[in-house]
A and B are shown apart, each in its own frame.
Chain A
Amino acid sequence: MGEMEQLRKEADNLKDQITAARKAMQDTTLQEAAASINVVGRVQLKTRKTLRGHLAKIYAMHWSTDSKLCVSASQDGKLIVWDSITTNKVNAIPLKSSWVMTCAYAPSGNLVACGGLDNMCSIYNLKGKDGNVKVMRELAAHTGYLSCCRFLSDSEIITSSGDCTCVLWDIETGTQKTIFAGHQGDCMSLAVSPDFKFFISGACDFTAKLWDIREGTCRQTFGGHENLSRINYILDLCKLYDLRADQELITYQDSSIMCGVTSLAPSLSGRLLLAGYDDFNVNIWDTLKAERVGVLAGHDNRVSCIGVSSDGMACCTGSWDSFLKIWN
């Protein structure tokens, strides 16, 4: 037991060292640095479009890179690709398993993916002849439900699963290229960096990990908060972490908000953070000042997913009331 004690002491010592190192780097806080920035003022976005057509709860949505099309997944077993301007449905893809929890749009616009309790990530080819949308691949190797998936290109996709791993797949061969293992709890969400070199995964073990896609290793871990269910690259849950300085920066909270956050999306400049909550609203936070600058109310049920288009013009929210709303 003496050895164990020693090891434990060493481990604790190292943990203290990390804390000290982090503290040493912390020569300013976000509040101080942002003090001189102008206040953003009230941001009011209105519902411009309502996308009707799903028959059950919407669990996930994702914008296409052209900022006009988006795909949404609902537990009625359908994946619908919407033209958000005209609110037309471009494609309505029936799914084999209706228990879908996530969907993704490829950057090229050729593919969409979805997955859920069937443990598989199904990839659909939108470019099929005579407008037929067919299953291109079924990536099956996870032993747990698929919580999130994101395309890197037309040939690679990253998925996170309830079996505590994230996997990088080669779509053409349908095989796993890299398995990112290390979480102790179900991986609930992931977000890929804009340069496609890293991604962050959040899990139910209260941590978020930054992974290097190329190396397959975990570079940083952030942790210590309640169940992590939503990640976005700049920000996570309702805490903002600074990756380079390895600090936790700020928590976005307000005494009037009692419920949990289900989804996050930053605006184009990063100044605004839109977060969907269980109380049927979306709150808009000023990232730098940590103040609430707006509310989007309009859904009749929990807001389950939110996304800002790549040109930053519109924000789309999907809810358990089976509607998607475009706000601007």
Chain B
Amino acid sequence: MQDPCTGVKSQPLRLVITTIPHAITGEDIVSWLADRFQTGTQEARHLGSMLVALGYIYPLQNHKRLVIKPDASLYRFQTPYFWPTQQLPVEDTDYAIYLAKKNIRKKGILEVYEQEQYNHLHKWMNHKWDFIVMQAKEQYRAAKERKKPDRVVFECQERAYWVVHRPPPGTVSAMDYGLDRRVDPNVDETKTPDFYERIMIFTQQSIMRPRVKSSVSIGAMVKYCSTYSGHDPFLSKCLPSNPWLTDDVTYWKQNLHNVEIPTKMRVERWTFSFRELLSDPRGRDDFRLFLKKEFSGENLAFWEGCEDLKWGTAATMKEKAEQIYKTFLARGAPRWINIDGKTMEITVSGLKHPHRYVLDAAQTHIYMLMKKDSYGRYLKSPVFKETTKKAVCPEEHKFTETQLEHNAKNRRPSVSPIVLWQQEQEQKAKMAASAPVDITQLCRFTTPVPHLAVYSGFSDSPSTDTSPSLPFLTQSPACPSPISVALDSTSASERRLEASEAEGDRNPDCGASVGGNTCRPRMPLSLRRLLRRGCTPSSMFASLSPKCHSAAGTSSRIQPISREDPSQAPPRQVGNFFQIKVDIPPECRIYPIESEDEDEERRAASRGVGAKEIICPWESLTSQNGTS
């Protein structure tokens, strides 16, 4: 078509000073096409329109309308570089460069829609903007060096190209091809060997998937439906009355998250499954109370910590994971949870690169532990019985017509969940800040009397010869798995209670001097001391517990035990004592540990207060009171 002899007749067009070579008129194009393809003018016009719409020919006047006008309006052939068949990817970057260049050439020349696009691209490609402006300037500079006619031609071509690929609003673009689908839904998938391979792999995996007998799963479903049908407001009555029907919100008030006395229906739901118990905040509180009495509260605390990690913001993830590790998983952790060695290994190695689900395995283990063990005991426990006894079964409301109308008038808008949540947080913070330092809540561990001397084992390995009662330490001098250490402690804790008391003090100190080992030589030592008696200042743990953020500040005061400590106290007595200097207001009631306190107090008294010493939180009180 561009052939000078047989193609469309072209002539140079005069445009002010410059001439645009090879301009062709619309009618010439149409007539040539009609002639060439032996078709009528209508067809030729249509074909011509398509050529223009797709960008093979571009109009010189009125460049935004991509149609062919079979009159004297002028067109030019687009340079092959810009042909759609080249299938150059039409990048936003290039468009941005083009617009920037246009802007540089002459400010204010951009059309409204181009301005909008420019601003939009500026926002989206802000990170590349320097590059884009630089490119634009380069291209502008390079263009300036060309001869004027060439430059004008090129500008026209580029402009035409962009009209095709970034059409002005309101025009239909011929480049539009619909949604980017992964698979064309209209095409049958070709049956290649790969296709069959994929089917086979998928089918094989499906076959291997464990299946349950229908009777079992259907039976479960039927059971679920019947269990809950009493609680389904569509199927059964609501006590005292359904707020939707009577506009009386007593039902909702009685079922708030933190209500003192739950309703009987609610308590009944807790017995349906462990999941129900945990998902109801009131139920969880009750369960927590029970666990506190059983001294296995760390399981629930760990579970809650994991949930917090899973659903929290990514920014806080890393520190949350660290806190959880320090509180629950590390050797010598204050609230050490009892999980098997393999899970611990997986978790600890995963924590090197913490992500949202890094504690999944451990959390599942603890969940199952609670479900199989604690849950059953909870349902038989006095705590639960007490709650059930106190639970209210509200009387059904019997409203008269007038009363109902009155209720309807007094409808109050509901509180936004955001506000409720904020209130809850504030309440928790207040409680944490002002509550008596409740040590018992954080004191015990699941294992009867775990001796944290064992946790210092790893750093004490060189000194293991001096402590024959701690044979396990010899296993792996470098860093014995905390679990193996812990397990041993569980089984032989009694024995060690006596034996290690003697060595206990010496060990950590020797350990401290040995140092050398990787994981936290100091912190666990000090914690170890503390935890030997299971006593930790609640403020320290308040900071570690996921809920009490406000008390976080005090944790910084925990200092590692300095080496001077052991020299002061006689080994026997110092054995299991741990002191942390904490700011506890004197009026706090501190619940000391029931038995064996007298020993402790003596030791505490004998310790004195060194510069880096940590003072037992209740020391100030009990030393005055004598006994607990």
Residues of A within 8 A of B (CB): 3-4, 7-8, 10-11, 14-15, 17-18, 21-22, 25-30, 33-34, 37, 40, 43, 45, 48-49, 64-66, 68-69, 83, 85-86, 88, 90, 108-110, 126-127, 143-145, 152-155, 162-165, 170, 172-173, 181, 184-186, 195, 204-205, 214, 219-221, 242-247, 249, 267-272, 287-288, 311-315, 326, 328
Q: How far is the CA of A49 from the CA of B408 in the complex (A)?
A: 12
B225→A37 contact, CB < 8 A: yes
Give Cα A17 to B199, complex, Å: 13
B272 to chain A, nearest CB (A): 11
Q: Is the CB of B414 within 8 A of A68?
A: yes
Cα distance A40–B226 in the bound complex, in angstroms: 11
List the A side residues contacting B247 at CB < 8 Å. Answer: 85
Contacts of A143 in B (CB 8 A): 179-181
For B427, the chain A residues whose CB sits under 8 A away are none
Contact status of A269 and B228, CB under 8 A, knowing A14-B204, A127-B418? yes
The CA-CA distance from A294 to B393 in the complex, in Å, is 30
A108 near B203 with CB under 8 A, answer no
Assembled-state Cα–Cα distance A220/B207 (Å)? 10
Q: Which residues of B contact A90 (CB under 8 A)?
A: 413, 416
Contact B199 A14 (CB under 8 A): yes
Is the beta-carbon distance between B414 and A7 smaller than 8 angstroms?
no
Query: Are A40's CB and B235's CB within 8 A?
Result: yes
User: What is the CA–CA distance of A14 and B203 in the complex, to the nearest angstrom?
Assistant: 6
- A112 CB to closest chain B CB, in angstroms? 12
Given contacts A18-B206, A65-B417, contact A28 B215 (CB under 8 A): yes
A4 to B421: give the CA distance in the assembly, Å. 61
Q: Is B15 an interface residue (CB 8 A)?
A: no
With A220-B206, A245-B211 already in contact, the answer to whether A313 and B243 are too (CB < 8 A) is: yes
8 A Cβ contacts from B166-202 to A: 179-183, 185, 189, 191, 193, 196-197, 199-200, 202
B185 touches A204 (CB 8 A): yes
B229 at the interface (CB under 8 A from A): yes
Specify which chain B residues have a CB less than 8 angstroms from the CB of A249 in the assembled complex.
218
B 214-271 contacts with A by CB, 8 A: 214-219, 221-222, 224-229, 231-235, 238, 242-245, 247, 255
Q: Contact check, A11 vs B196: say whether CB atoms are below 8 A apart.
A: yes
Residues of chain A lying within 8 A (CB to CB) of residue B411: 85-86
Contact assessment for B212 and A25 in the assembled complex, using a CB-CB cutoff below 8 Å: yes
Question: Cβ of B211 and Cβ of A269 under 8 Å apart?
Answer: no
The docked-state distance in angstroms from the alpha carbon of A88 to that of B310 is 34
B311 within 8 A of A: yes
What are the residues of chain B within 8 A of A155 when measuring CB–CB? 311-314
Interface contact A164-B183, CB-CB below 8 Å: yes
- Chain B residues near A170 (CB, 8 Å)? 314
What is the chain B residue whose CB lies nearest that of A312?
Answer: B233
Q: Is the CB of B182 within 8 A of A268?
A: no
Residue of A nearest to B238 (CB): A313
- Inter-chain contact A27/B215, CB cutoff 8 Å: yes
CA distance A63 to B411 in the complex (A): 20
Q: Does B72 contact A (CB under 8 A)?
A: no
Instruction: List chain B residues, Cβ under 8 A from A268.
Output: 228, 231-234
| Distance of A314 Cα from B199 Cα, bound (Å) | 44
B315 located at the interface, meaning its Cβ lies under 8 Å from any Cβ of chain A in the complex: yes
* B214:A8 contact, CB within 8 angstroms: no
Beta-carbon contact of A33 and B219 below 8 Å: yes
Q: Which residues of B contact A14 (CB under 8 A)?
A: 199-200, 203-204, 207
In the complex, how many angstroms separate the beta carbon of B394 from the nearest chain A beta carbon? 16
Given contacts A108-B418, A243-B217, 6 further A-B contacts (CB under 8 A): A49-B244, A85-B413, A126-B416, A195-B275, A269-B231, A328-B244
Nearest Cβ distance between residue B411 and chain A, in whole angstroms?
5
Output the least CB separation between A79 and chain B (Å): 16
Q: Which residues of A contact B418 (CB under 8 A)?
A: 108-110, 126-127
Closest Cβ neighbor of A181 among chain B residues? B182
Contact A271-B225, Cβ < 8 Å, known A21-B211, A328-B245: yes
A85: chain B residues at CB < 8 Å are 243-244, 247, 411, 413-414
How far, in angstroms, from A34 to B214 measured CA to CA in the complex? 12
B213 within 8 A of A: yes
- Which A residue sits closest to B197, measured CB to CB? A7
Return A297 CB to nearest CB of chain B, in Å: 17
| Contact residues in B for A267 (Cβ distance below 8 Å) | 232, 234-235
Q: Provide the residues of chain B in CB contact with A314, threshold 8 Å.
A: 233, 244
Q: Which of these, A15, A33, A110, A145, contacts B215 with CB under 8 Å?
A: A33
Are A108 and B183 touching (Cβ within 8 A)? no
Quick one: closest A residue to B412, CB to CB? A86
Given A28-B218, A249-B218: A271 touches B209 (CB 8 Å cut-off): no
Say yes or no: A22-B211 contact (C-beta < 8 A), given A66-B420, A271-B229: yes
Return the 7 tightest CB-CB contacts between A and B, nearest first.
Answer: A109-B417, A269-B228, A143-B180, A7-B196, A153-B311, A14-B203, A269-B232
Q: Establish whether residues B414 and A162, one from each chain, have CB atoms under 8 Å apart when the complex forms.
A: no
If A22-B211, A28-B215 touch, whether A15 touches B203 (CB-CB below 8 Å) is: yes
A83 touches B413 (CB 8 A): yes
Q: Give Cα distance in the complex from A312 to B231, angstroms.
A: 9
Which A residue's beta carbon lies closest to that of B178?
Answer: A144
**Per-residue contact bits, chain B 27-58, to A (CB 8 Å; 1 contact, 0 not):** 00000000000000000000000000000000
